[in-house]
Structure formats: C-alpha cells, structure tokens
Structure 1
Amino acid sequence: MGSSSKARNSIRTAVSQNSGTKRSQRKWLSRVVATVACIVLLVLLSSWWGGFTEPQAVAEIHSMVDEEVARLARVARNEIPYGSSGPDMGEWFQKFRDVPEKYRGQIRQDMGRLFNARERAATQSYFALPPGQRRAEMDKRIKAEEARSKERRERWAAERAAREQADANGQTAENGRNGGGQEGRGRGPNAGGESGPGG
C-alpha cells in the first residue's frame, strides 16, 4: 500500500503541476490578449482623434487671430493707441486666400471675430477720448485709411500689370512656338503663305 499511495501522490502532484501550468498559460494568454486589445483600442482612438485635428495653416490663422483680438482688446481699453502696428486687413485677406478652399470654412468664424474686435476697438477708443480731441482723431483716422487705400490700389495695379505682362509674354512665346499669329508669317523659307511641299 505504501507504493500505491506514493504512486497516487506522484500522480496527484503531476496533475496539479500540469493544471497549474495550464492555469498560468491561460493567465498569460488572457494578459496578452488584453494587452493587444488595449493597444488596438489606443491606435483606433489616436487615429480617430487625429482625424479631427486642424491643418497647420488653419491653426496658424487661429493663433494669429487670437493674438490680434487680444491686441485689439487692449486698444479698446486704451492701453495702447488705436493706430498701433496691427496688420492691415489686406494682409489678413491674403492669408485667408492662401488657405486651401476646403479649410476656409473653419476660419470664417475667426475672421468674423477679428472684424468685430476691430470695430469695437475703433469705436471704444474713439469714445474714450475727451470730446475736444475726437474731431482731430477722426481726421487722423480718415487720412490713415485713405493712405492705406491708396497704397492698396497702387499695389493691386502693379500686381495686375505684372499679371498682364506675364500673360502677354506667355502668349507671345506660345505664338512663337506654334508659328501662329501674324508675327510667324513672312519669314523663313516658306514665306508667302506656302506651307511646304504639297501644301
């Protein structure tokens, strides 16, 4: 009986060790599956979150508008003078035009905030002046706006002339390559309207 009890004990020990190994394998397998599931979940979450981030150009304009609105709030409180070095609206419009069409909707609200802040700053800084200084301030603002408008018109005229010149140069070069137009006739071996042999 002593040997049979030894055999039973050894069988029990082997079975308990084997079942313990299977339990530890199951634990490790469940841990690995849980870890992989967490990693997949994190990847999906980060890709979803990344899909809602704003493009660089939009983020840049958002931050620039925020800075300008803060500066204009200081102007409205008369902490800094009204005409202090803010970007011209023409520059803002150019930045807006430089943004790809599909992102412009995202910055229209910011441009509205900017316009409102400019109007508020102009109005509040004007009425914060003593009544005796308001007329001189209004004259100064009108002259500054006229100067900006003149500069803008001159810049646009120069840009338009440059575009027209570039278009004319491009069209002349194209006519020269194609042999079309009157400047291509009357020269070369086939002058006089002949197009060559058989023509």
Structure 2
Amino acid sequence: MKQRCFWVTDSDLYKKYHDEEWGTPVYDDCILFEFLILETFQAGLSWITILNKRENFREAFDHFDYKKIATYSESKYDSLLQDSGIIRNKLKIKSAITNAQLFIEIQKEFGSFSKFIWSYVNNKPIINKFEKREEVPATTTLSDTISKDLKKRGFKFVGSTVMYAYMQAVGMVNDHTTDCFKHPSE
C-alpha cells in the first residue's frame, strides 16, 4: 500500500488529487486560475468540500475560463448565488469575477500569470523535507509577501494561508512529507 501524506483520507477523490495533482508544478495559466478560484472558495472550509464540488464549480464558472468570468454580468452573478452545487458566498463569487479581471491585468504586465507567480520561487519548486504534520506551516514569509502583493493589486480572499495552500497545490512548494511516496528522493 502506498504511503501518503498525513492529510489524505480514505476518499478515492482525495487520493487521486494527492497522487496526481497536489505538489506537481503547474505553469499553465488556465490551471493556475482554476486553483486560484478553488483555493479562494476553500477559505474557511475543508479542501474535501471543494474537491467534492469541483466539477460543479467547473460547470458554473465556464470551465474556469477567466476571460469569460471577467465579463460576468449581474444576472450571471445572481444565477451563481442560486447554484446549490457551489459555495454560495456573495463575497467569494464577487471575488472570482474581480480576481479574473486582475488575473488578466497581471498577464498583460508580465506576459503570463505563470511568469508572475513563479518568479517568487525563481521558477523552480521549493522542496521541503518535513517529516511530521506539525512541521508543515500554514503560512510562510513568502506566502505573506505574495498575499500582500496580490491584495495591493486588488485581489480578494488571498490571505497568506490561502496563498500557501495555493503554492502547495500548484507545486511552487513541495510539501509531501518525507514518508510519502510522492516526496522527491535525492
């Protein structure tokens, strides 16, 4: 049986997410945006809640097409508020629209969101060697810095904890514990 990180439950969905996505470097702007949306909606909730609703989010938010989301009308916003398949939080739904608009602004400034976000780690993942749950941080100085930068640009729901979870999800940091089969060996 594969040894996985401490946070993985018996859920097949969780195992698949851990084994195939979490901690794997993502450079594609579309996927980076998807994770940004999912992480911002996750704030204050469990990740399994988001994973269970991920396909509903995908449908509700036009397959995470940030160009479409950036132009959502008031009626689309209202329909999202009525969609029981997603997290119906007014501020988080508004933030998805605002964040999509700002995501495009960053693309214009840097050429891609990927170039912008990966520049914080010199374009290569930080490989941590945590052995126990207690060692894995919820925030770091780097997640504080990224959070402040995004907030200054107008992004919402991008606190340091959300940004560290984002960094883990998109592989900017590899926090697979050393006993996990996904931890890179030397």
Global fold match (TM > 0.5): no
More relative contact order, 1 or 2 (CA 8 Å, 6+ apart): 2
The two structures have a TM-score, normalised by structure 2, of 0.24
Q: Where is the helix percentage greater, Structure 1 or Structure 2?
A: 1
Q: Normalising by the residue count of structure 1, what TM-score does the alignment of the two structures yield?
A: 0.23
